[in-house]
Amino acid sequence: MRLLIDLDGVLYRGRRALPGVRELFEWIEARGHSYSLVTNNSTRPPDEVAAQLRGFGLAVPPDHITTSALATARWLHERAGKGARVQVLGGPGLLQAIFDPALGFRPDWYSPEWLVAGSDFDLTYQKLTAACFAVQRGAQFIATNPDTTFPTEQGITPGAGAIQAVITLVTGIRPTVIGKPEPAIYEMALRTMPENGEVVVLGDRLDTDILAGQRLGLKTVLLLTGVSTREEAETGEIRPDFVFEDLCHFLAHADDL
């Protein structure tokens, strides 16, 4: 089995690991399954995510983590040659992924061929203006993830999708989106994993995790430890193949899916 596993609402919630998370990784190891943790968050590089997971007692190698930043960098690598001029609106995770020396992209704020927009906690009017100019002048507009909001302990803050929406309002041009619910991020994650049987998506959101899986024809499992509810899963437009209360209930049935 190849598992594509969401993070927040599936493995942990805020600062607390969710029930069954250690047992999940023990089960994966015992059965020889492969997995990638797939997150729309582009701001943190995989080693930071791995460090957070270590705090929950989970030893996940950074190369088993696919962020929307990494998926975007891989996607761009398949389309843009070495030396391509790229402007990035984003945090350290996105900058590190796109300007990985192995890819050979050049940062360019004046005549970029590509504009990559994610979450940028140091966003300024100047950067937003430069991004709008880039798109007006023909740069291809790529979005790491479409989430309009980003939850924090103080409240809801603007997510990558809100920043991208400003560029779209100004230029009239919509981005190509890599993150969930678009399927590209899962496709990129699967390329890093061995061919190892059926693919199963584990997620807590119908409109992102589950929809992206369905768009690729994958088996989908909704866990009720995050955003979406059983009622939404049973009455809404997006119906997952399986719904479980939490990882413990999933593990009780996981060998028979």
Catalytic residues: 6, 8
Q: Number of residues interacting with Mg ion: please give it, by CB under 5 A.
A: 5
Among 6, 113, 147, 182, binds Mg ion (CB under 5 A): 6
Please answer whether residues 149 and 156 qualify as being in contact, where contact means their C-beta atoms are separated by less than 8 angstroms. Answer: yes
Strand stretches in 46-139, DSSP E: 65-67, 85-89, 106-107, 114-117
Binding mask 219-238 for Mg ion (x = CB under 5 A): -------x------------
Q: Is the Cβ of residue 9 or residue 118 nearer to Mg ion in the bound state?
A: 9
Tell whether residue 9 is a contact of Mg ion (CB under 5 A). Answer: yes
- Could you say which of 115, 204, 221, 250 contacts Mg ion (CB under 5 A)? 204
Binding status of residue 240 toward Mg ion by CB under 5 A: no
Instruction: Give min distance, CB of 226 to Mg ion, in A.
Output: 5
Q: Per CB under 5 A, which region of 9-17, 179-187, 210-218, 243-251 contacts Mg ion? A: 9-17
Q: Which stretch binds Mg ion (CB under 5 A): 23-31, 62-70, 87-95, 196-204?
A: 196-204
Per the structure block, which two tokens stand in for 92?
């350290």
Burial 178-212 (b: 16+ CB within 10 A, else e): bbbbbbbbbebbbeebeeeeebbbbbbbbbbbbbb
Instruction: Measure the CA–CA gap between 103 and 196, rounded to whole angstroms.
Output: 28
Q: Is 3 exposed, middle or buried (0-12, 13-18, 19+ CB in 10 A)?
A: buried
Least separation in angstroms between residue 73's CB and Mg ion is 22
The stretch near Mg ion (CB under 5 A) out of 61-69, 76-84, 86-94, 198-206 is 198-206
Shortest spacing between CB 77 and Mg ion, in angstroms: 26
Report the residue closest to Mg ion, judged by CB: 9
* Residues 152 and 114: beta-carbon distance below 8 Å: no
Beta carbons of 1 and 196 less than 8 angstroms apart: yes
Sign of the alpha-carbon torsion through 194, 199, 203, 207: positive
Residue 179 touching Mg ion (CB under 5 A): no
From the CB of 208, what's the least distance to Mg ion, in Å? 7
Dist. CA 123–CA 159, nearest whole Å: 12
Taking the complex as a whole, the smallest distance from the CB of residue 203 to Mg ion amounts, in Å, to 6
Which residues lie near Mg ion (CB under 5 A)? 6, 8-9, 204, 226
